[in-house]
């Protein structure tokens, strides 16, 4: 997200799918419909490696992604694998959904992106443990 966007709620969801960016983008309308997101909500898909090198992106966001890790989220049937789970660096994840929601709070934007990211996981996650990053504001 560009630094000068002041009147928007912003939220991000990091994820790691083998799907291409184009495949994810083609599913966004269906994900938005399933999640019942408002039409004014803007969602874009970016590769994390591109976001990290983009000088127009908020440096606090880049720093946060570079310095933090997450644990994989496991569906119930993979519960036994949870014990051996290791943290994954956020910067090693493949994609980030960026959300801008006019005249909304960051928390409201995060609530909206939650359903979209869940839909994408079920579409592209192949029913495996998934490395869906924190949804954060």
Q: What angle do CA 109, 3, 42 make, to 5 degrees?
A: 35
- Eight-class DSSP state of 69: E
Q: What is the pTM of this model?
A: 0.78
pLDDT for res 107 = 92
Residues 6+ apart with CB under 8 A from 38: 101, 112
Euclidean distance between CA atoms 41 and 33, whole angstroms: 12
Q: What is the pLDDT along the chain (137 residues), one digit of tens a residue?
A: 444 456 999 999 888 888 899 999 999 999 999 999 999 999 999 999 998 888 888 888 889 888 888 776 666 666 676 677 778 888 888 899 999 999 999 999 999 998 898 888 888 876 554 444 444 44
pLDDT for res 18 = 83
In sequence order, which ranges of the chain are alpha helices (DSSP H)? 21-35, 48-53, 59-67, 106-124
pLDDT for res 69 = 82
Euclidean distance between CA atoms 114 and 122, whole angstroms: 13
Are 112 and 17 spatial neighbours (Cβ–Cβ below 8 Å)?
A: no
Q: CATH 1.10.10: does it fit domain 8-136?
A: no
Domain range annotation of the chain? 8-136
């Amino acid at each position: 997200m560009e630094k000068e966007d002041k009147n928007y709620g912003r939220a991000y969801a990091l994820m790691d799918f083998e799907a291409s960016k184009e495949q994810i983008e083609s599913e966004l309308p269906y994900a938005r419909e399933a999640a019942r997101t408002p039409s004014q909500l803007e969602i874009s898909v970016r590769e994390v490696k591109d976001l990290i090198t983009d000088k127009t992106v908020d440096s606090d966001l880049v720093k946060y992604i570079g310095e933090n890790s997450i644990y994989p989220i496991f569906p119930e049937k993979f519960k036994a694998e949870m014990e051996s789970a290791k943290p994954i660096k956020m910067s090693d994840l493949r994609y980030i959904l960026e959300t801008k929601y006019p005249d909304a709070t960051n928390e409201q934007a995060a609530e909206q992106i939650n359903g979209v990211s869940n839909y994408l996981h079920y579409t592209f996650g192949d029913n495996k443990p998934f490395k869906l990053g924190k949804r954060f504001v």
